[in-house]
Chain A
Amino acid sequence: MDERELTARVKLGDEAAERALYDAHVDRVYWVAYRMSGRHDLAQDFTQDVFIRAFDRIADFRGDAPFGAWLHTITMSVVLNGLRKVKRFDQREAVLEEAGMVTSSVREAEPDLKERLAQAIDALPEGCRVTFLMHDVEGFTHEEIGAALGTTAGTSKAQLSRARAKLRIALADFAGDWIQ
């Protein structure tokens, strides 16, 4: 049974079809949610919310685009709103300032590149962080990101450019090794 048929059945209230769509997409949704939040409990929470919303609003899905694309728009919206609710923004802004102050001098004290990378990504302004993760890591297009964030593709490109620049600066100590 293809997805078009499954979505049609979901519209009729078929729970088995809901389960089939869930099985097909849950991993992707869960790991995107985890990538964005960094916490399994939040990822679980967001994933549930994504599917509940998707099934509740299945009547809005016209089938012009793949179900997965439509679902990931909901995912973005749920995750971002969820993160806003927990007010992570302010915390990350604060961490950004700290990271900006220490990046040029901590290589000896903190040589682990992965650790530094994680800190640098966490320290990005939320819009930059989301755009970087969605575009460069998860492979969303600027149009999709713009739609999910309620901005334009141009804004998404600008955010991505800022994110990359900040990450390059934060990880400048390692740049020599990479280029060689």
Chain B
Amino acid sequence: MTDDHTNEQPNDAIQDERIRSLAAGHYHAPDGSVPREAMWGQIAAARRAARAGVAPIAAVAPAAEVAEQSADVIPLDSRRRTRTIVVWRWSAAVAAGLLLAFLLGKYSGSFGPTSPASRQIAGNTPARTPSEHSRIDPPPSAPETPSPVPHDEPTRSSPQRSPATRPSTERFTPSAPMDVASADTAAAALYRAAAVQTLVQAEAVLTAYRGAESSTRDPQAMQQAARWARDVLSSTRLLIDSPAGRDPQMRALFTDLELVLAQIVQLSGTPLQDGERDLIDRAMRDRDLLPRLRSAVPAGSATS
């Protein structure tokens, strides 16, 4: 340490050493015990999640309550909570979509063709009961008797025949391909709906930001816009990595949107300097963000 005192007075070295020793002994000095097991629990959970390929959003760091002391800081655990909630919402939505898709796939035959896949199948064969979906078409020499169940009636009440009672000409094949196709269609529709909803919200956020920034420069309105932007930013980031983000045009829009929203969130709670305001305005203007948002949202979506 003495090599750092070459330009200082001899007394400075004595003072420095005294300060160093006091700081080592008293400034945030170790007190109490290290919560080893509690931390290891979180670390192990995160590691197991990483090994399983699951993002350990809630498990990584549970303890930070950092920002409550400062109004201009986004609370870390609040961010985590928000992300966790959004992820759970997404999981629930996807699960519901998959279930819906499965049910649609299972019963669509009796309701008539609804998708290209089912239309193709329905064009070749008459309507079937659910149990019959598991069969492949019989050969032309042995035409299958059309189902007695009318097309406009649900087929849930149709009696399921056991394998023992099936005609000997029937062969079995897994019904998964058709279910998966329907599930994919339903999931894609859900992602599209989520994307549209996020874009509608984003448009509202940007409009609110511009209103708060340009006309009144009201700090509270700015903070409100920033809070709102934070929520939309989370959804936008999720959508970028979702199937909705596979579309190049949509992905570019989400990426530009993410940048602008992040800037708005980052500057929340602080009085905007002219340079910062210009930065956000320029980012919105250069990317034609609002016009692109409006054109990407189907007419009428904003009110739904």
Contact = CB atoms under 8 A, between A and B. Distances in A.
B34 A121 contact: no
Interface string A81-119: 010011100010000000000000000000001100110
A41 B68 CA distance: 13
A137 B46 contact: no
B39 A47 contact: yes
Contacts of A42: 63-64, 66
A22 B65 CA distance: 24
Contacts of B36: 22-23, 26
A49 B16 CA distance: 33
Interface residues of A, number: 51
A164 interface: yes
A25 B151 CA distance: 70
Interface string A166-180: 011001000100110
A44 interface: yes
Interface stretch (B19-27, B81-89, B200-208): B19-27
B42 interface: yes
A86 B15 contact: no
A25 B20 CA distance: 24
A52 B44 CA distance: 8
B11 interface: yes
Nearest to A78: B61
Main secondary structure of the interface of B (DSSP, over half): helix
Nearest to B16: A164
Main secondary structure of the interface of A (DSSP, over half): helix
A136 B23 contact: yes
A179 B56 CA distance: 54
Nearest to B62: A45
Nearest to B66: A86
B44 A15 contact: yes
A137 B23 contact: yes
9 contacts: A19-B44, A49-B61, A52-B46, A86-B73, A114-B22, A117-B26, A132-B23, A157-B4, A175-B11
A31 B16 contact: no
B19 A40 contact: no
A44 B38 contact: yes
B19 A117 contact: yes
A45 B64 contact: yes
A166 to B, nearest CB: 10
A126 interface: no
B60 interface: yes
Contacts of B23: 117, 121, 132-133, 136-137
A38 interface: yes
A121 B27 contact: yes
Contacts of A161: 4, 7-8
Contacts of A13: 51
Interface in A38-66: 38, 40-42, 44-45, 47-49, 51-52, 55-56
Given A41-B65, A91-B70, A85 B76 contact: yes
Nearest to A31: B30
A114 B19 CA distance: 10
A45 B63 contact: yes
A178 B50 contact: no
A11 interface: no
Given A48-B61, A137-B24, A175-B11, A55 B34 contact: no
A80 B76 CA distance: 15
Nearest to B40: A22
Interface in A123-180: 132-133, 136-137, 157, 160-161, 164, 167-168, 171, 175, 178-179
Contacts of B14: 178-179
A6 to B, nearest CB: 15
B26 A179 contact: no
